[in-house]
Amino acid sequence: MKHAFRLLPLAALLNMAALAPTVAQKLKYPKAPAASEIYDAVEKPAVPVGGVEAYAQYLADKQQYPTAALQAGAQGTVTVTFVVEKTGAISNVTVSQPVNPALDAEAIRLIKGGPRWTPAQHRGGVVRQRATVPISFEIPTENGAAATAGTPAPAAGAATTQVVKPDQPARPVGGTDAFFEWIQKNQKYPALALQRKVQGKVLMEFVVQKDGTLTEIKPVQRLGSGLDEEAIRLIKAAPKWQPATYQGQPMKQKMVLPVLFTL
């Protein structure tokens, strides 16, 4: 071998010398991804199974606006951070940008209960990736604006009315759980909705009067197939509420609550 090496032309030796760093580099790079490392930036990011649009639809369909947040008029965008594992499962779910404790908890529930993901790929291997998803919560009104407790803003040119936030918000007599239990117990699923297999939530708006009666009842997010009318009937027939109070005196308060229909 030594004699053969010496007989090589000088040009060939120079070529081999030039290739030496390349060979060494190929042996060291690319490095295999570490088994436990969590990447923020990857060559091929993780995506929800079914696609981003289907995932966004899942978040919209399965979102359940917490009653406590509705009563407090809380809304905003909760930013949730989590890890997409190599199996596509979700782990380490945390809120990186909180808004309200009830909304934060609902955002975590949505992410944990969501579909699996197609895991990320980096340097030729499947890796763990940190992902961030913003989840928006907005209390709608009939015209799409955010709902607020108290008196609505006046039209242009009308006399100004001060919007007062109650010291104690309106609440169902017996508690929220008892109210929703009453709703479920007295719910009559419309035949058309059963036939079409329609389910989901009807978001209902109403005003709790000073005496606790519920008035101005209307759906602000509809489902159709008779479910909107059933939601109206339920709210109209519902037990009285404890009215909101301000400085010890009862006051009217607008509320928005979901009526859930599940098959």
Looking at the fold, whether 76 and 127 belong to one and the same domain comes out as: yes
Q: What is the CA radius of gyration of the chain?
A: 29
222 domain residue, yes or no: yes
The Cα 99–Cα 97 span in angstroms is 7
Q: In this structure, are 129 and 55 located in the same domain?
A: yes
- Give the global pTM: 0.49
Region of poorest pLDDT, from 88-92, 135-139, 183-187, 202-206:
135-139
**pLDDT band at 103, cuts 50/70/90?**
very high
Phi, psi of 39, deg, nearest 5: -95, 145
> Which comes out higher in pLDDT, residue 103 or 6?
103
Q: Are residues 59 and 132 in the same domain?
A: yes
- Residue 191 has a pLDDT of 92
Whether residue 250 sits in one domain with residue 198 = yes
Structure confidence at residue 48 (pLDDT): 92
Is residue 7 in some structural domain?
A: no
The residue out of 86, 111, 137 marking a domain boundary is 137
Residue whose structure tokens are 């909180």? 98
Q: Residue 77 belongs to a domain with what CATH number?
A: 3.30.2420.10
Residues 75 and 99: their CA atoms lie apart, in Å, by 7
| Same-domain pairing of 115 and 196 | no
Q: For residue 88, is it within any domain?
A: yes
Q: Which helix (H) or strand (E) holds 200?
A: strand 200-208
**Among 137, 162, 186, residue at a domain's last position:** 137
pLDDT band at 120 (very low <50, low <70, confident <90, very high): very high
SS3 label, residue 236: helix
Does 195 map to a domain? yes
Question: What is the rounded average pLDDT of the residues 222-249?
Answer: 91
Distances (CA, A) of 25 to 30, 32, 61, 105, 124: 9, 14, 51, 49, 17
Q: Does residue 215 belong to any structural domain of this protein?
A: yes
Q: Count structural domains, the chain.
A: 2
> What's the rounded mean pLDDT across residues 79-87?
94
Structural domain includes residue 81: yes
pLDDT of residue 10: 35
Encoded tokens for 106: 């609902």
Cα 249 to Cα 244: distance, rounded to the nearest angstrom: 8
**Six token digits for residue 47:** 């995506």
Looking at the domain assignment, is residue 91 inside a domain? Answer: yes
- For residue 171, the cross-strand partners are 242
Q: Do 87 and 132 reside in the same domain of the chain?
A: yes
Same domain for 202 and 125, yes or no, is no
Q: What is the pLDDT of residues 25-72, one digit of tens each?
A: 444 455 666 678 999 888 888 999 988 888 888 888 888 888 788 777
Residues 126 and 175 reside in one and the same domain: no
Q: Mean pLDDT, to the nearest integer, of 120-144?
A: 80
Between CA 15 and CA 209 the distance in angstroms is: 91
- CATH code, 250: 3.30.2420
Q: Are residues 184 and 253 in the same domain?
A: yes
* Cα angle for residues 214, 220, 221 (degrees, 5° grid): 130
**Residue 118, in any domain of the structure:** yes
Q: Is the pLDDT of residue 85 over 90?
A: yes
Range of the domain at 212: 171-261
Both 184 and 133 in one domain: the answer is: no
* pLDDT, tens only, 136-171: 887 764 433 344 333 333 333 333 334 457 778 888
241-242 and 117-118 as β-strands: parallel, antiparallel, unpaired? Answer: unpaired
Asked if pLDDT for residue 80 goes beyond 70, the answer is yes
